[in-house]
Amino acid sequence: PASTAKIMTALVALESKKKGVPFTATSEVLAKVDASASEAGAIAGETYSFKDMLHMLMLPSGADAATMLAYSTYGGLDEFCRQMNRKAKELGMKNSSFDNPVGLDISDGYNKTYATAKDYGIMGCYAIQNKQLRKVLARKSYKVKTAGQTLRLKSTNAFFDEYACDSEDFTILGAKTGFTDDAGRTLLAFAENENKDTIVIAFFNAETRETQFGGVRD
């Protein structure tokens, strides 16, 4: 699933008892971030609000934000991943598994993160009902300002610009992208039709950006 798995990361964080708790990044926690993963730009010593971490997670797909959320809500990666799998079971995602909050897979040494499009469709239908997550997914950009740092985040969702949907029948609500060598280009997209019905598309293993966005849009 690559970084579309971060939708589950966001859900678990949003439904935790420590939702809303800020987190001060440490070098020890940031060292847990795999070198191959995309980062939002967190710096050790800076304190990030829960809202900021959610935007760092969703817009630029920050693995540093995913790791910080795991520590701020459940004290570490192991328990956080247990909660991800618990939620997956609760939702009926029978053929999906999580062993990290980033979406890294066997190509990066993580053997137990895998998915099916059907399962991620189920997850997407549940996730888009969360009002806070829905607001974050709808943002094109966001600014994080801490005591010693300003981050200007831009969404990886190309439906907002390069592949904008011109159809009057559909409105794009948001999307989460991903990429790993094994997954290819992945996309979990959310739209609304003229009847206000929500449409969720889980699309895995696209070879090109044109297929990932243009094919789904068209």
Note whether 128 and 134 are within 8 A (CB): yes
Per the annotation, the verdict on 61 as an active-site residue is: yes
Those residues whose C-beta lies under 8 Å from the C-beta of residue 202, and which sit 6 or more positions away, are 4, 117, 118, 120, 121, 124, 187, 188
Neighbours of 39 (CB within 10 A): 18
Those residues whose C-beta lies under 8 Å from the C-beta of residue 111, and which sit 6 or more positions away, are 99
Per the annotation, the verdict on 3 as an active-site residue is: yes
Residue among 6, 16, 96, 176 flagged as catalytic: 6
Residue among 16, 32, 61, 155 flagged as catalytic: 61
Note whether 108 and 180 are within 8 A (CB): yes
The C-alpha angle 200, 82, 5, rounded to 5 degrees, equals 30
Per the annotation, the verdict on 6 as an active-site residue is: yes
Residue among 3, 16, 96, 155 flagged as catalytic: 3
Q: Which residues are catalytic?
A: 3, 6, 61
